[in-house]
Chain A
Amino acid sequence: MKRTLVLAAALAAALPFSALAHKAWLLPSQTVIAGNDPWITVDGAVSNDLFYFNHVPLRLESLVITAPDGSSVQAQNPATGKFRSVFDIELKQQGTYRIASVNDGLSATYELNGERKRWRGTAATFGELPSGAKDVQVSQSVGRVETFVTNGTPNDTALKPTGKGIELIALAHPNDLFVGEEATFRVLVDGKPTAGLEFEIVRGATRYRNAQDEIKVTSDAKGEVRVTWPEAGMYWLETGTEDSRTSVKQAARRRLSYVATLEVLPQ
């Protein structure tokens, strides 16, 4: 119980993802849409069950919405409740939108006047640490939680890799996934295809079945993973890794995580 509370507090404080098995996600109301200036609404939450709001909301501070022309758009009507965050997007352009919560944070523990303290921030605010801090332990977390929505004809401008952290590139298109068909993705770490990343893929509506039915795949030598979708539905896809390419020298390790919500349609 206590552990859950600490975890909840930690999640609420800064990071919408966690190594402790809770699942962060963004859930769009629609992924394939048509019309002049249609709207969608997106939920964001962190939970064990997919896609149910029963733990903590996904914080919206680090939301990055990329429009089909590559520009940034603002979320409309954002709100964060007890269990979920919600926001709307007006899709003024034709093409594919990339909706992401992108985090790059540092956490530190240190000793000051004989007391053990914690600190959270970013590389830019790292100077906040008091000068008398001793035994400073810093770790970096880089995470991306994202989903994709296409208005009209799909395009790839918003899907171009940013070169930071883990990213997943659909070799076809992330809004073109159909049951029974094989989809190929390439996983990038800082823009480079990377082998050996383990993926966990779980279909939503977990409440109505007795097993997770997770799909496990690992990226091959070319950094590619192949998935044949067994059923239609919203899928939650996660991967993560660790390395030492940190942005501040005091941090020894960098933890990377990636989550995508993908919709698979029936034939």
Chain B
Amino acid sequence: MRVTLTIALSGLLATSPAYAATLDINVEVPKLNVAEYHRPYVAVWLEGADQKVAANLSVWYQQTGNAEGHGTKWLPDLRQWWRKSGRTLDVPVDGVTGPTRPAGTHALSFSDRQPALKQLAPGSYTLVVEAVREVGGRELLKIPFTWPAKAAQNASAQGSTELGKVTLSAKP
């Protein structure tokens, strides 16, 4: 009902961001001092209380192929994501998959109007960020939160190897 109302309003008003519940995520890809560096493959998704994937938010992988194969060859190295979602997904997925990103903090913003969150039933969720790097390691961070937020929620998790700081901000 709320969604319908929001859509109706957005039709009436040119700007109505105040009506959207938002989820802002920052993912830091750390700068690493290594001899051979490749940008990490990163998957960002939401899990429900059943630990199943509720929404794929973002997946970064090499979009091209080379003599070693297409970039999709290494998607199974994002082990948990591959198991829970990737292996049944037909990549690329519009609005979800994209190229790998350089070191730095990457801001991802979602609202309940976007396909990823539109169908999300109210409840407890966990944000999961998994990163794996060629000739490097793998790291997985989790941040629990409630959706939609009744009051603003801020949480973060600090990675130690393949991920830097991951922050989550959910606003009603």
Chain A interface (Cβ < 8 Å from any Cβ of B) = 32-36, 38, 150, 152-154, 176, 178, 265-267
Q: Which of B79, B86, B87, B88 contacts A266 (CB 8 A)?
A: B79
Are A152 and B70 in contact, with the CB atoms below 8 A? no
Residues from chain A with a CB closer than 8 A to the CB of B70 are 35-36
Q: Which residue of A lies closest to B91 (CB)?
A: A34
Q: Which residue of B lies closest to A31 (CB)?
A: B76
> Is B82 located at the chain interface by the 8 A CB criterion?
yes
Closest 8 CB pairs of A and B: A35-B73, A32-B76, A153-B88, A34-B76, A153-B87, A34-B75, A265-B79, A34-B72
Residues from chain A with a CB closer than 8 A to the CB of B87 are 32, 34, 150, 152-154
Residues from chain B with a CB closer than 8 A to the CB of A267 are 80, 140
11 A-B pairs besides A33-B76, A153-B88 with CB distance below 8 A are A32-B87, A34-B72, A34-B73, A34-B76, A35-B70, A35-B72, A38-B73, A154-B87, A265-B83, A267-B80, A267-B140
Are A176 and B75 in contact, with the CB atoms below 8 A? no
> Is B11 located at the chain interface by the 8 A CB criterion?
no
Give the contact-size bracket for chain B.
Answer: 10 to 19
> Is B69 located at the chain interface by the 8 A CB criterion?
yes
Q: Which residue of A lies closest to B79 (CB)?
A: A265
Q: List 26 A-B contacts (CB under 8 A).
A: A32-B76, A32-B82, A32-B87, A33-B76, A34-B72, A34-B73, A34-B76, A34-B82, A34-B86, A34-B87, A35-B69, A35-B70, A35-B72, A38-B69, A38-B73, A150-B87, A152-B87, A153-B88, A154-B87, A176-B83, A178-B83, A265-B79, A265-B83, A266-B79, A267-B80, A267-B140
A-contact 0/1 string along B81-111, CB 8 Å cutoff: 0110011100000000000000000000000
Residues from chain B with a CB closer than 8 A to the CB of A32 are 76, 82, 87
Q: Which residue of A lies closest to B73 (CB)?
A: A35
A238 to B87, CA, bound (A): 29
Smallest CB–CB gap between B17 and chain A, Å?
A: 38
Interface hub of B70, B72, B87, B140 (most chain A Cβ within 10 A): B87
A-contact 0/1 string along B117-141, CB 8 Å cutoff: 0000000000000000000000010
Q: Which residue of B lies closest to A265 (CB)?
A: B79
A150 to B53, CA, bound (A): 20
Residues from chain A with a CB closer than 8 A to the CB of B83 are 176, 178, 265
